[in-house]
Amino acid sequence: MLDIKFIRENKELIKGGARKKHIDFNVDALLDVDEKRRALLAEVEGMRAKQNEATEQIGKTADQATREALIAEMGVLKKELQKKEEELKKIMQKWQQLMIGVPNIPDMSVPEGKDDSDNKEIRMWGEKPSFSFTPKSHIELMQDLDIVDFERGAKVSGFRGYFLKNDGALLSFAVWQYVLERLVGKGFQPMIVPSLVRKEGLLGTGYIPQGEDDLYKNQDGDYFAGTAEVATMGYYMGEVLGASELPKKFASFSPCFRREAGSHGKDTKGLIRVHEFFKLEQVVLCEASHEESVRLHEEITKNAEEFMQSLGLPYRLVLNCGGDLGLGQVKKYDIETWIPSEETYRETHSSSYFHDFQSRRLNIRYRDNGGKLHFVHSLNSTAIATPRILVALVENYQKEDGSIEVPEVLRKYMGKEKIS
RNA sequence: GGAGAGUUGGCUGAGUGGUCGAAAGCGCGUCCCUGCUAAGGACGUAAGCCUUUACGGGCUUCGAGGGUUCGAAUCCCUCACUCUCCGCCA
């Protein structure tokens, strides 16, 4: 959500932003409704002022005749007022519906483009492994090692279901624990957050209404979040923080659920795209300054890169183009990791900032040192997501005999150097 | 699942039809005093929206939404959440 005053004064900016994001949004229609809203509001408020005044008189006067005359007069006014209020209510609904659809403005540095094929490579890290044999896919590797079971996954869980077993399960725990320790060492507050969430958090973070189709819902009307960002951002919903508490940095862990509604037949096999996975997410709240947002955005992106480097996984960092940005995102980087069997880089991390887009919706504010209230800025970035990262790990570290070398930093958690 | 009690400002907490945007305390801010520290005193201190060049003016908000009334924090209804007890489960 953006400030209506800002929208009014920067109509062209909003239009340009929407165009860049390839989001169809009619700013003029919103401003039109806004004008009607303000006119009606003035009318209604004037009538209420009259009513308040008369009401006060009624309370004070001792004269029965004046009293009754005023009460009669107010009875008439009330009917008119109710009619106007009804009109206002309708306009307000329309206004609010339009307001939550206003896209945040992408940063100047965001490249033009329609979809992920237009994303811009920023840097590349690591050597792609060269194999003296034909590398196997993670599916083959893991099934041969008996560390994953897709058949029974589908039997028990349905399409895209999976079991991780033996060293596959251990490897997941190792990765989580390793990354968590690194984050805590950097001052992030560890949290295990709910996945089952109420509507508010999803509306606030911007996953609803646009992305509703990709969310699972239960019979109570609650949702299964696709990321720990939702619950973590909801944590301070409606609250006022102190300036000295900022920035708040969270390392949030949660199961994540995605219906993958729009992804038809993509990645139907293996661990790349599943309905249920786990993620450690960096979530940051900071003071309302663009510079601070940018600084922290670079920082959490670097953190993610650092984990990848220490795991020895070749990746590239891409800057997402306008068309690949969500409604609220100002700028986003993706880390794409080398997948030997596909001979391509696949997205494993995503890092973005929102300015006050989310905090306005969630009403998360802070008091600055002068006592003034501001909406915080928010950011988030993947720290590590399993099982997707396992795909990269096992494929890049595979040996000719089908065994998998355990990356140096994970050995102490796995208690072994090799999965065989 | 059953019974009961709650939801008030940054926080704690009074307030059962007009004098309540709301006592008191904490916190915070400015100033004073105390030559440091501890402590003390005075005053101020909710947010959002509309309007205004400005000064200011107006409206809304006491969990949410409806209702009664000229008038609702206060009465009625619905819902959400919190707490306590019982049950159930672990």
Q: Strand B: which positions are within 7 A of a protein CB?
A: 10-11, 18-19, 28-29, 47-51, 58-60, 66, 70-71
- Percent above pLDDT 70 for chain A: 100
In sequence order, what are the residues at sequence separation of 6 or more whose Cβ sits closer than 8 angstroms to the Cβ of residue A111? A118, A119, A120, A319, A321, A322
Taking Cα atoms as reference points, which of A168, A34, A21 lies closest to residue A98? A34
Task: Find the Å distance, CA of residue A359 to C1' of nucleotide B46.
Answer: 20
Calpha distance A370→A57 (Å, rounded): 41
Judge if the beta carbon of A69 is closer than 7 A to nucleic acid strand B.
Answer: no
Task: Find the Å distance, CA of residue A247 to C1' of nucleotide B80.
Answer: 32
* Residue A212: pLDDT band with limits 50, 70, 90: confident
Our answer to whether residue A152 is catalytic in this structure is: no
Judge if the beta carbon of A41 is closer than 7 A to nucleic acid strand B.
Answer: yes
Q: Is the pTM of this model over 0.90?
A: yes
Mean pLDDT over A271-295 rounds to 94
Q: Tell me: pLDDT of A65 over 90.
A: no
Q: For residue A46, which nucleotide's C1' is closest to its Cα?
A: B58
Mean pLDDT over A340-353 rounds to 96
The per-residue pLDDT for A374 is 86
Calpha distance A121→A124 (Å, rounded): 8
Q: What is the pLDDT of residues A347-370, one digit of tens each?
A: 999 999 999 999 988 888 888 877
Q: For residue A221, which nucleotide's C1' is closest to its Cα?
A: B80
Q: Tell me: pLDDT of A418 over 80.
A: yes
Cβ(A166)–Cβ(A201) below 8 Å = no
* Residue A250: pLDDT band with limits 50, 70, 90: very high
Q: Tell me: pLDDT of A173 over 80.
A: yes
Judge if the beta carbon of A243 is closer than 7 A to nucleic acid strand B.
Answer: no
Q: Where are the beta strands (DSSP E) in A258-372?
A: 276-286, 315-319, 331-339, 344-353, 365-367
Task: Find the Å distance, CA of residue A291 to C1' of nucleotide B41.
Answer: 43
Cβ(A341)–Cβ(A155) below 8 Å = no
* Residue A219: pLDDT band with limits 50, 70, 90: confident
Amino acid at A244: S
> What is the rounded average pLDDT for all residues in chain A?
92
